[in-house]
Amino acid sequence: MDIRMLQTGKESMPDDESYKLVTEMLFSVNQTDDALKYIDITLSSGNMVSPKVFTECVKSCVRLGRLDTLASIIERCKKMDQNKALCPQWNMCNLIVDVALQEDNSKLAFYGLEFLARWITRGEAARPPVYLSVDEGLVMPALGTASRTFDKTLIDASWAVLRRSLRNNRAPSAESYLGKISAYSSLGNLQRAFATLHEFESVYGGDSNTEAAENFFSPFTSLSPLVMACSKGGFETLDSKSMLKY
């Protein structure tokens, strides 16, 4: 198949298997740009992307730093019934999130966390169950990226995956709570920031005599993002109805 013929309609459109074979061949000889063009045509024509092609696409985009391209392909697959179930392997999902966070690519990080959540759900439904967990060290940078990119969906996804991974065996770390507070503060969502602060206090506030705990709740260090967010609106911010119940 020639891409130009496909684009100009000079050939009858091939089926899923034809796209699969050609795209796999292109990836195997490192002709990534052409392979990505075939994936684009596959999606545009409403065809199914095979799991193997999807995996090769993820690997190539991550290796070459084509993160926006990968995010776009994932987004398009999610919107198609025949492709929305596509999901990389567990280790690759972790790599997607890690690479996305290094570049503050909040959209791709969100999709990677969605994939991880899907694996966790599959594991819990298996018989016998397989309890997969995301390292908290991956979630904290996600909250940092959410804070810098003002992405509420990434905050929620990060926290949901963390809670699902901990399975009520323990509370999130103090650093994770502070990251969430900082992220909501950066968005100006003070109601959610204060709600998180109160949850944080209920978990870690009992050790107020320790130096570490005092630092956790210091308005000059750990909680300075929340203080700065409150100061932006002056006294009106703290007097608002949404803050009165806190």
pLDDT digits (tens, 9 = 90+) for 8-66: 444 556 677 888 999 999 999 999 999 999 999 999 999 999 999 999 999 999 999 99
| Residue 94 pLDDT | 97
Structure tokens at 64: 């070459």
Question: Measured between alpha carbons, how far is 195 from 6 in angstroms, rounded to an integer?
Answer: 55
| Residue 5 pLDDT | 44
Ranges in the chain annotated CATH 1.25.40: 13-86
| Residue 11 pLDDT | 55
Query: 175-223 pLDDT, tens per residue?
Result: 999 999 999 999 999 999 999 999 999 998 876 556 666 788 888 899 9
What band does 4 get if pLDDT is binned at 50, 70 and 90? very low
Architecture of domain 13-86: Alpha Horseshoe (1.25)
Q: 43 near 80, Cβ under 8 Å?
A: yes
What band does 231 get if pLDDT is binned at 50, 70 and 90? confident
Query: Apex CA 153: angle with CA 150 and CA 156, to 5°?
Result: 110
Q: 24 near 53, Cβ under 8 Å?
A: yes
User: At residue 49, what are phi and psi to the nearest 5 degrees?
Assistant: -90, 125
Query: Apex CA 196: angle with CA 147 and CA 121, to 5°?
Result: 80
Q: What is the mean pLDDT of the chain?
A: 89
Closest CA to 167 of 98, 209, 121: 121
Q: 51 near 84, Cβ under 8 Å?
A: no
Torsion angle in degrees (nearest 10) through CA of 48, 42, 65, 110: -50
Segment (H or E) for 203: helix 190-204
Query: 146-169 pLDDT, tens per residue?
Result: 999 999 999 999 999 999 999 989
